Structure formats: structure tokens, C-alpha cells
A and B are shown apart, each in its own frame.
Chain A
Amino acid sequence: MATAAQPAVASDAAVPGVRRLHPILAFIRYQPLGAAGLFVILVMGAAAILADVIAPYDPEAIDFVAMLTAPSWEHPFGTDAFGRDILTRIIYGARTALTIGFVSSFTGCSLGAVIGVTSAYFGGRVDLAIQRFIDVLLSYPIIVLALVVVAVLGHRPIGGIDVNLIAAIAIPIVPRVARVVRSSALAIREMPYVDAARAGGYSDRHIIFRHMLPNVLAPYLIMLTAYVAQAILLEASLSFLGLGVSEPKPAWGLMLSGDSANFYQEAPWMILFPGAAISLAVFSFNLFGDSLRDWLDPKFKT
């Protein structure tokens, strides 16, 4: 990682003083918004990991006595129509959102990167075929493709994680990443060391994975962050439409779906807090992703 990021950071050396600061401090100093985003992400991540410890209630336990209670010391964010604590469900919801967000973004970006680099490396007909297929996938708006994939695959929860939902979110990411990575990789293909490796008799696989992929790490990382935000939003939208995460599993989009809107006068907290949680998470990832992009490569545009 360090070696790969080096050339990009080196080009940023125009900013005086960067070199003298510790990289993390430098990031905070020159990208305060990004640092703030990162901080929120870390807090949410911690909450997601420690949900069992810090959440005050069981997220799935029905408590009819506490139905629709307003925010109070006992229930800081109030309760829903089943008497379930909203704060608890938002904390566990962070686990759902971050897991699905990270895993689908990681899957989509990694697959996209491999396809992009492969396409650039081989060029010619392979490249043409892959690019035409990517054209096809790019013609679908993200949510449309995701909806079709959900309809096709249905739901398959394995160990509490719906792998098909992750696939539905990851697939629309693949062509977008592949396209960007390909253009970066095209430049790298012309580098002398790739020629050298080829002359040295290394296999295509070796060259792709050892020489080319590490060099597209910067755009990869930037897109990984950006697509976590997209994936969280997409999961929320699908769950809102009733096609994502299944009740009673806590998920932010799901908390807004169905007839929850009908409770807005008696229990506006049912709508306010989950929506705010989605917004905050996506916002933080966007802030961080933006800054990361400026930091790693000011000229890079997705």
C-alpha cells in the first residue's frame, strides 16, 4: 500500500510542509472535512462492532408496553410501533449498513479493478469484448439494475447476511469501477517495467496481479470509499421499497418503509432518526472520499 501510494503523494508535494508532518496529522491539517468524515465513520464502526455491549436493548424484542413512547431517558430516540428501542435499532442498523456497504463496495470494486486491468493489459479483442459488455451494464441506472438482480436472485441469508442483496448492490458497481481502472491501467501498461516483466517471461496473471493492480490502488481506494456511500444509500433505498433487508433485522432504510410514515404525527422520531443516520453515514463517507481523492491525486476524477 505504501509503495503504491507513493507516486501519487509525491505529486502532491507542491503543497509545502506536507512532508514534515506525520501523514495522519497532515491529512487532518489539510483535509479537515475529510478527517471529520473519517472520525464519524470510525465512531459508527465502533458502535457497529460493539453493538452487543453498548445498545441498551435487544433490537428484535417486542415490548408492547412501550409501544410508540416518545424520546426519554429510557429510550433516547423513542420506540417504534412494536415498542422496540429506536436507538438500539439504529446502533444495530449501523452494523447492517456498514457490513453491506463495505462488503458490496469491496466486492464490486475488486471485481471491477480486476476486469479493468485485465481489459487494459490484453487490449485488442479481449478489451473490445469486455468494453462492450461494460457498455451494456452501464446503460442501466444503478437502482434499476439492483432491482432486477434482487428480483432474479431473491434473498439468501447466510449467517444473518443476505449474500444476494450484496450481489445486487455490488453488480452495478463493477462496470463503473472497471471503466475508470481501465483508463489508469492503460497508461501503466506502457510503462517500461511492464514490458520488462513480460520480457522476463512472467505469466499474464503474475503481471496483472503483481505489477499492474498495485499501481491502480489509488483510484481503487478512492472508489472503494465513494461506493461504500453509494452502497449504503442503495441498501437503504431497496429496504425502503421492501426489497432489501428483512424485518425484524434492524436496518435504517427498513425503519422508514411500510407504514412507518403513518406514525409521523404520533411518533415523528420513527422517521427522523433513521433518516438522519443514513444521511450522516453517507455524508461522512462522501466527505472522506472527496478528501481522499484530493489527497491522493488532485487530478483524478471519477
Chain B
Amino acid sequence: MKALTSTIAAAILATLPLAAVAETPQRGGTLSWAIIAEPPTYDCHATGTFAVMQRVAPHYSTLMKFEPGNYPNIVGDLAASWDVSPDSLTYTFKLHPNVKFHDGTVLTSADLKATYDRIINPPDGIVSNRQASFTKVASVEAPDPLTVVFKMKEVDASMMTNFASPWNCVYSAARLKQDPNFPAKNIMGTGPFKFVEHVAGSHWTGERFADYFRKGRPYLDGFRSVTMTSAARVNALAGGQIDAEFRGFSPTERDRIVRALGKDANVLQESWLLHMIITFNTERKPFDDPRVRKALSLALDRWGGSTSLSKISLLGAPGGLVRPGSEWSASPKDMEKWPGYGRDMAANRAEAKRLLKEAGQENLTLTLMDRNIAPYVTAGIFAIDQWRQIGVKVEHKQVELASWYALQNSGDFEVFVDSFTQFSDDPSNVLYKYASHDRSPVAVHRAIDRELDQLFAEQARTADKAKRLELIRKFENRAMEQAYSVPLLWWQRIVVMNDRVKGWTMSPTHMIYQDLGDVWLAGSR
């Protein structure tokens, strides 16, 4: 075990300086990577699952994107240059000339307009998942073939992030005109790879697009993403049958692969923009009582749990409502002031017991609803054990994903293991989860708290970063004190790939940097 840990540490350390040294990229080869879920559609506007994103990203371009190797800095993708008016109400983008679609047609601002109109005002029968992010847009205009202008109704501090969202794949206006639902079953974009085939449940392949607008890219001849179960991808990577997997492995899976691949394993680790949440149903007794919620939050040993659980599961560091380590995060010192984040667990538990007694709930029994997969189960087992230590008895009710969604929306639960993920750390995107139930459909704690809504709206229109940070801290403190929903632990993202895969960028989300345009394979098979 010890020897292993040091090998892994060595592997991780080894990759850091290597990544910094620029190697000359090689052309050719087919990258084969694993993915654990089947895509429900090909249309990235219509879904939020990585099963679609990771497969379609190599085929499409977006207006803006996160700069590879420099997250969360935003740069242009199709946009060659851009300009934001001083009042932050007009965004003007100049497009790269001569960008070609896979069918040979040339991309113009009309395609951008058609794409964004489809996202903002989807025609009948079209599902747009990102509509909410663009409610403040007044109009999209295409004054000339290479210029796109967005006019805003009011200031939205998150606008650039929204433009860089990987979910806003740019489609061909001509194709959309023929059939607005074209992208749901076809792939036709301007990305570095052309679509070849998708065999349901088996694989998805793409080949190099020779007319890709970035010269010399992509390096690969093609890619092949293979659908497999979570356990199989470990064996496949360890056995050299695939080169990579981009979602993430658990620490034990990482260890198995590193042990098998030895020097050929490249391990990349970072905190993940995904966190476990304990959500209370504030409409149910006794969880309408803030003392009960606070007591249950106090009883969770987040620091201790993190140390141990991070060795066996995807669960990682304790954090607030925004990702720990991100530019918006509270410092650990600030965190320690929140209930359940103090380092003295004996005191926390004593206080929790006192609060329960005060609320008349010394013999509290509750049902914890949970999903039936790791690491949700891990989080559930941990929380149950923690609550047991303050005398709370818990019945664990594990359900399938569909029921998990159905139960949380109908409010038919007492407490449940919740989670939340986004494609970026942008505060408006992530704090949304903790706003009032009537303002935010994902705030399933069912509480209305206008003070939180007020703070949320204010930070959303505050362009000044320092001021925005201050508002976020206030929001966080209030949310933690009220404890409608409280973070348990943030996840850790552990990506392991064969060392011959180069040029791929690690980030805190598995939704970005997946166009594979800069990825290349060292040596030949």
C-alpha cells in the first residue's frame, strides 16, 4: 500500500514538469477512449449529460471557449475578436473567415444567429436546455457575414462564461431551416473531426476534418470512443485496450491502472466542479425547524471524512457553495466558521445534540433518500454513520436515477443525498442551486428565502469582482446558517490516461476541453 502510494505520487509529480516542457506534436493515429454512458440525443442544446458532450464536442465549434491550459480564462473559438460595450449591454463578435462546415459550406454570422435563436427561442418540438442562461439577451443580430451582435436587456456578469459554454454548439442555419430537429440525429459542425459512425452501446467514431479552420489541427487521424461499464474501462485502460477516459476514476481505480501501466500511466488530479449536497425537505416536520437542519449539518465531520473518503471514493475536499480552490471560493479559515466546518468535532456534536434537544428531537429518526451508485452510496453510508453518533437513526432508501429525480421534484422525501454540477465556476451558475424554490427549479429544498434571492440577483449584476466576491460570501454565510441544503463534500476529478496521449488539458469539469483538436499521440502503436 505504502509503496503503491509513492508510485502514484511519483507518477503524478512526473507528469507536472513533463507537461510544462513543450514537445513537438506528432501527426496521425487514432485515439481510443472510454465512456460509460450512451448519449440520449446528438443535440447538445437539448441535454446536460457528458455522454453527449464528450462525444459531440470534437465535431463542433462554439463562439468562445475556455483557454486550453489556462482555465477559466476565456478566448475566442469561432470568434477572432470581440468587443464589450462600456455599459456591458452590447457584445460584438468578429468571426474567423473561411470557417468550413463538414459538408463544405462556409460558416457565416447567419449560422451563429440561427444557433443562438434556437437556444434562446426554441421552435416547437425543440428542447433547449440553456434557455435560462440567456433570458437577459434582447436580440441577436448579424449585420454582416462575419459579425454577430448580442444586445442585452440588462447587465449579466456571467455573459462571457455563457458564450464560452461548451453546450452552445454552432449548427448550420441551412440545415436547421430544413429541419429544426436536424442536430438531434445528425452530426454536422465545424469542429476538428467529422462524424463517421455510432453503433449503439458499442462505439462512436470520428475522422480528421482536413478543412478545419485552425491550420495544422487536428493532429489525430481520428478518434474512437468506446462505450463500456465503469468496471470495464478500468480493465481496458489497464490492459492497454484504450488510451484514455475523460470523466474520472476513483482513487482505487487509479491505483489499479497505475499498477498495471507503470511508467505509461499519466495521472492528473484536480478538484471537480461537482459536489454532494444534503438537502432537507423544509416543508416536512421537523426539517422546517432550522435548529434540526443545523444540528444535522453540524454532525457531519467534513474534514475527517474528506481525509478518509478521498482515499476510497470520488469524494474530495470540503467546500462551500462554490468550488474550493476556485477564484470565488471562501478560504478554509472562513469555512471553519460555518456550522459543521469547525475542526472540533466533539464540540460540534455536543452542539448538535443540544440543538436537537432544544427542538424536542432527541430521538430523531429519518429516511435518507439516495441514488444506488458510487459515490452517492459512499456519501450516504458516511452521513448515516455521522448522524448515528448524535443519536439520530436513519433508514437508507436507495433509488434509481429516474425515481431520484421524481421524488425530489414531488417533495416526497425527508432528507436526500443531492448533487450539483456545472460547466464552469461562474457564481450565478452554481449559487442557483441554493436560491429559493420558486425562483430556481433545482433548489429542491422547497424553502423560500428572499434574502438569498436578493443577494443572488445582486451578485449576478455586479461586474466588479471584489464586490461580487463580498456578495457571494454573504450568500454563502446565510445559506450555511439556514441549512436548507448543505454541501457535504466536493468531488475530486482523477483522470488517468496512457502517457502517449499528449496535448489534452485537465480542468475541474469533464464538460470542457473535449474537442480533441490539440490532442496527439506520441510514438506509434
**Do A and B touch each other in the complex, judged by CB within 8 A?**
yes
Question: Can you offer 7 A-B residue contacts whose CB atoms are under 8 A?
Answer: A60-B384, A60-B388, A81-B313, A82-B385, A247-B396, A248-B384, A266-B255
**A62 and B259 alpha carbons, distance in the complex (Å):** 28
Q: Mark B373-409, 1 if CB is under 8 A from A, else 0.
A: 1100100111011001000000111111001000000
Contact B259 A265 (CB under 8 A): yes
Q: Report A-chain residues with C-beta under 8 Å of the C-beta of B73.
A: none
Q: How many residues on chain B are close to A (CB under 8 Å)?
A: 35
Q: Does A214 contact B (CB under 8 A)?
A: no
**A81 and B251 alpha carbons, distance in the complex (Å):** 12
Q: Report A-chain residues with C-beta under 8 Å of the C-beta of B311.
A: 67
Q: A64-B308, A258-B374 are in contact. Are A247 and B250 (CB under 8 A)?
A: no
Contact B373 A157 (CB under 8 A): no
Q: Report B-chain residues with C-beta under 8 Å of the C-beta of A62.
A: 381-382, 385
Q: How far, in Å, is A84 (CB) from chain B's closest CB?
A: 9
Q: Does B15 contact A (CB under 8 A)?
A: no
Q: Report B-chain residues with C-beta under 8 Å of the C-beta of A68.
A: 1, 312
Q: Does B81 contact A (CB under 8 A)?
A: no
**A259 and B398 alpha carbons, distance in the complex (Å):** 16
Beyond A60-B384, A154-B403, A247-B381, 12 extra complex contacts between A and B, CB < 8 Å: A155-B399, A243-B372, A246-B397, A247-B377, A247-B396, A258-B374, A258-B377, A259-B231, A259-B253, A263-B252, A266-B1, A266-B255
**A81 and B381 alpha carbons, distance in the complex (Å):** 11
Q: Report B-chain residues with C-beta under 8 Å of the C-beta of A266.
A: 1, 4, 252, 255
Q: Does B267 contact A (CB under 8 A)?
A: no
Q: Does A261 contact B (CB under 8 A)?
A: yes
**A97 and B423 alpha carbons, distance in the complex (Å):** 44
Q: Does B256 contact A (CB under 8 A)?
A: yes
Q: A155-B399, A266-B1 are in contact. Are A67 and B384 (CB under 8 A)?
A: no
Contact A151 B400 (CB under 8 A): yes
**A64 and B304 alpha carbons, distance in the complex (Å):** 9
**A77 and B230 alpha carbons, distance in the complex (Å):** 27
Q: Does A262 contact B (CB under 8 A)?
A: yes
Q: Does B234 contact A (CB under 8 A)?
A: yes
Contact B397 A157 (CB under 8 A): yes
Contact B396 A246 (CB under 8 A): yes
**A262 and B238 alpha carbons, distance in the complex (Å):** 12
Which 4 interchain pairs have the tightest Cβ spacing?
A: A242-B372, A64-B308, A81-B312, A62-B385
**A157 and B304 alpha carbons, distance in the complex (Å):** 31
* Contact surface of A with B, Cβ cutoff 8 Å: 60-62, 64, 67-68, 81-82, 151, 154-155, 157, 242-243, 246-249, 258-259, 261-263, 265-266
Q: How far, in Å, is B33 (CB) from chain A's closest CB?
A: 19
Contact A67 B380 (CB under 8 A): no
B308 closest partner in A (C-beta): A64
Q: Report B-chain residues with C-beta under 8 Å of the C-beta of A157.
A: 395, 397
**A155 and B259 alpha carbons, distance in the complex (Å):** 39
Contact A249 B372 (CB under 8 A): no
Q: Report A-chain residues with C-beta under 8 Å of the C-beta of B255.
A: 266
Q: A155-B397, A258-B373, A262-B250 are in contact. Are A248 and B256 (CB under 8 A)?
A: no
Q: A242-B372, A248-B384 are in contact. Are A259 and B395 (CB under 8 A)?
A: no
From 1 to 18 in chain B, residues with beta carbon under 8 angstroms from any chain A beta carbon are 1, 4
Q: Report A-chain residues with C-beta under 8 Å of the C-beta of B4.
A: 266
**A258 and B373 alpha carbons, distance in the complex (Å):** 7
**A62 and B381 alpha carbons, distance in the complex (Å):** 8
**A246 and B308 alpha carbons, distance in the complex (Å):** 22
Q: Mark B222-251, 1 if CB is under 8 A from A, else 0.
A: 000000001100100000000000000010
Q: Report A-chain residues with C-beta under 8 Å of the C-beta of B403.
A: 154
Q: Report A-chain residues with C-beta under 8 Å of the C-beta of B381.
A: 62, 82, 247-248
B255 closest partner in A (C-beta): A266
Q: How far, in Å, is B169 (CB) from chain A's closest CB?
A: 33
**A62 and B313 alpha carbons, distance in the complex (Å):** 15
Q: How far, in Å, is A218 (CB) from chain B's closest CB?
A: 40
Q: How far, in Å, is B379 (CB) from chain A's closest CB?
A: 11
Q: How far, in Å, is A195 (CB) from chain B's closest CB?
A: 53
**A243 and B401 alpha carbons, distance in the complex (Å):** 12
Q: How far, in Å, is A229 (CB) from chain B's closest CB?
A: 25
**A265 and B255 alpha carbons, distance in the complex (Å):** 10
A61 closest partner in B (C-beta): B385
Q: How far, in Å, is B313 (CB) from chain A's closest CB?
A: 8
**A242 and B231 alpha carbons, distance in the complex (Å):** 14
Contact B384 A262 (CB under 8 A): no
Contact A259 B230 (CB under 8 A): yes
Q: How far, in Å, is A204 (CB) from chain B's closest CB?
A: 42
**A272 and B33 alpha carbons, distance in the complex (Å):** 31
Q: How far, in Å, is A2 (CB) from chain B's closest CB?
A: 43
Q: How far, in Å, is A244 (CB) from chain B's closest CB?
A: 9
Q: Report A-chain residues with C-beta under 8 Å of the C-beta of B398.
A: 155, 242, 246-247
Q: A62-B385, A246-B397, A248-B396 are in contact. Are A259 and B252 (CB under 8 A)?
A: yes
Q: How far, in Å, is B435 (CB) from chain A's closest CB?
A: 30
Q: Report B-chain residues with C-beta under 8 Å of the C-beta of A247.
A: 377, 380-381, 396, 398
From 290 to 336 in chain B, residues with beta carbon under 8 angstroms from any chain A beta carbon are 304, 307-308, 311-313
B371 closest partner in A (C-beta): A242
A258 closest partner in B (C-beta): B374
**A243 and B372 alpha carbons, distance in the complex (Å):** 7
**A151 and B372 alpha carbons, distance in the complex (Å):** 13
Q: Mark B348-387, 1 if CB is under 8 A from A, else 0.
A: 0000000000000000000000101110010011101100
Q: How far, in Å, is B149 (CB) from chain A's closest CB?
A: 50
**A246 and B250 alpha carbons, distance in the complex (Å):** 21
B367 closest partner in A (C-beta): A157
Q: How far, in Å, is B384 (CB) from chain A's closest CB?
A: 6
**A204 and B230 alpha carbons, distance in the complex (Å):** 57
